[in-house]
Amino acid sequence: MTVNLKIEIKNIFEQFKKKHFLVIGDIMLDKYIIGNVDRISPEAPVPIVRITDKFWRVGGAANVAKNIISLGAKSTLIGVVGNDTPGKELISTLGKSKSINSRVIIDKKRKTTVKCRVLSQDQQLLRYDEENKVNLSDKILEKIKKEIKNIKHTIDGIIIQDYGKGLISENLLHCIKQFSMKKSIPIYVDPKKDLFKSYSESRLFKPNKNEFNHFANEDLDFKSRVIDFCKENDFQILLVTLGKKGMSLFFDNQFINFPAKVKRVHDVSGAGDTVISVFALFDLVGLSPKISALFSNIAASLVCEEVGVIPVRKSSLEKKIKELL
């Protein structure tokens, strides 16, 4: 690290205020049930949870948008929810933020995705999901494409957050790419394996290890697979997240491993949302892929030390970066 970077880090964070991201992807509600366990059920070999707290947070692409604004930038969020209570909660929460331009569409035939986690003593005991993973109807798809085409304000970067819930399709990607090329806007992708081959020429492609291994050449070692895959698909930057082992970065013929920096993992939920948000912001203001990945790795460690899906705090990230420099 250079002394100049240490001096400039505050100014770099200040530059975020001038940036505006378009975030497109699956929106969901993350619910949490917290309780104590002191006995096993006599009805089945399962723990009995005595509930002490319940709360919920916005997740998926909405959490990406929250990370973006938490660091001082602005975000336009496009996604779909159902005409149900979770959907209304999501729209209400997003509507309270002045820095998120929420363009969420209600699909009356769709159920809002809800992930519910049951925890005790910082350990996840159970997760159950309520969702509808079918592709969007033509009517809803056209509404989303119209929202994209009608954006008049300046967009500096696009983040696609695909959780495989049916929003992202070849058709929609074509529309996003046209918008990107017309305005020369970089695209940052957090993919699901179904559309891996459709994201070529993205600025950043950020799969997790399981998703990456699904398509990578199994006959090669991991480093060779990363290099081969990146060149094959014409990604400018490939960042593979490895869970507790950190992440691996490949760009400009450079391969770099970043060990995880988390002291104690409480909850990994939403860490991938934080990684792509932080990387995209630092990349957009001109930092190198190596430094952007390093800072996103630090940010992921911070959110993993918290319970529940939360955006990284600007003050916490700035402090950690300054300590490192």
Residues designated as active site: 273
Task: Give the Cα-Cα-Cα angle 61, 62, 63 (nearest 5 degrees).
Answer: 90
Question: Could you identify the residue written with the tokens 């800072």?
Answer: 295
Cα 160 to the center of its chain, rounded Å: 8
129 contacts 114 by C-beta, under 8 angstroms: yes
3-class SS shares of the chain: helix, strand, coil, % to 5: 40, 30, 30
What separation in angstroms does the CA of 122 have from each of 37, 97, 194, 264, 308? Answer: 12, 29, 33, 11, 10
Question: Sign of the CA dihedral 207, 101, 116, 313?
Answer: positive
Of 139, 145, 206, the C-alpha closest to 179 is 145
Task: Give the Cα-Cα-Cα angle 186, 189, 193 (nearest 5 degrees).
Answer: 150
* C-alpha span between 285 and 214 (Å, rounded): 33
Cα 188 to the center of its chain, rounded Å: 10
| Alpha helix (H) residue ranges in 71-221 | 85-95, 138-149, 170-183, 209-215
Q: Determine the straight-line distance between the first and last CA of the chain, rounded to whole angstroms.
A: 6
DSSP secondary structure string, 280-322?
A: HHHHHTT--HHHHHHHHHHHHHHHHTSSSS-PPPHHHHHHHHH
257 contacts 246 by C-beta, under 8 angstroms: yes
